[in-house]
Amino acid sequence: MANSPTGDSVIGRVVRLLNAFDRQQPSMTLSGLAHRAALPLTTAHRLVEELVKYGLIERDPDGQLRVGLRLWELAARGSRALTLREIALPYMEDVQAAVHRYTTLAILDHGSVLYLERLSAPDSALENALDAGHIAQRAPVHSTSSGLVLLAYSPSALQEEVLAGPLEKVTGETITDPQVIRRHLAEIRQRGYAAIPGIAVKEWTGIAVPVFGAGNNIAAVLNATVPRGETNVPFTLPALLTAAHGISRALGADSGPARPRRR
């Protein structure tokens, strides 16, 4: 039931409070939290006290607020994302051991890319440069190779919904023309992978392949990130496809990811 000037329900306001925390701002004061959540200070105070009581928000000794471990505990109990991550992790480790690149696992959620896991590569040239693809981070679906793979194997209705926009420019090379994106989606379905440089971060290229689940529906995407100019698809792709095939099989797919067609 709504009981606020904005018409938000209590749950809606709680979600706004929790959504105010992110990687750049993992903790903040009560006033800062109220400001980021666009809630009156008195409303934020009342809700935060309840959330602290049940461990969904924690208060540091210095008064800073952060998301509580209780929230993680509740989410982890029945999360399909956690199950997918646990299945995929050994295969991701194989990819990283083979190609020595950042390796990520992501899904399509509410029209955006949501990263479930990222394995770092300390010996990579991107170690100090890459600030994307973190666990629980989101990205516009059209702005990454991972997102375009997820979109390519999604139902056409969802594709059209995404392409209807707005499509923001993340870098100067992010593709925002729906017709150009459609061509890329067709090529991805034909080749079985995407490797488009500079669309998310101009200095790197994501090489992404699909992971399928039951009914051979798209379940996730596996990606290796390489410095732009050092992209070696023939070297990186076999490890990604082998891992994606193994994850797909473990998820109950009838067959592994689409293999790239020889030209």
Could you tell me the CATH number of the domain that includes residue 60?
1.10.10.10
**Where among 25, 49, 75 does a domain terminate?**
75
Same domain, 54 and 107: no
**Where among 75, 98, 126 does a domain terminate?**
75
Burial of 80 (0-12, 13-18, 19+ CB in 10 A): exposed
pLDDT score for 133:
67
Same domain, 70 and 88: no
Please tell me which residue, 141 or 82, carries the higher pLDDT value.
141
Structure tokens at 56: 């969904």
Q: Give the residue-averaged pLDDT of 32-52.
A: 94
Same domain, 133 and 40: no
Q: Give the residue-averaged pLDDT of 180-203.
A: 93
Same domain, 117 and 225: yes
Mean of all residue pLDDT scores within the chain: 87
In a domain, residue 156? The reply is yes
Cα–Cα distance for residue pair 49/53, rounded to 1 Å: 6
pLDDT score for 258:
46
Q: Give the residue-averaged pLDDT of 28-48.
A: 94
**Where among 48, 75, 102 does a domain terminate?**
75
Helices and strands per DSSP (H, E), number in the chain: 9, 9
Burial of 75 (0-12, 13-18, 19+ CB in 10 A): exposed
Same domain, 115 and 245: yes
76 pLDDT above the threshold of 80? no
Q: Give the residue-averaged pLDDT of 208-217.
A: 94
Number of domains comprising the chain:
2
Same domain, 23 and 140: no
pLDDT band for position 242 (cuts 50, 70, 90): very high
pLDDT band for position 200 (cuts 50, 70, 90): confident
Same domain, 144 and 176: yes
Look at residue 60 and give its three-state secondary structure: coil
pLDDT score for 1:
41
Q: For 112-152, how does the pLDDT look when each residue is reduced to its tens digit (9 = 90+)?
A: 999 999 998 666 555 544 556 678 888 999 999 999 999 99
Residue 30: which domain range? 10-75
Least trusted range by pLDDT, from 2-6, 13-17, 56-60: 2-6
17 pLDDT above the threshold of 70? yes
- Residue 66 neighbours by CB under 8 Å, 6+ apart: 21, 26, 27, 57, 58, 60
pLDDT score for 217:
94
Stated pTM of the model: 0.81
Look at residue 164 and give its three-state secondary structure: coil
Q: Give the residue-averaged pLDDT of 23-38.
A: 92
Least trusted range by pLDDT, from 16-30, 67-81, 226-240: 67-81
Same domain, 122 and 180: yes
pLDDT score for 256:
44
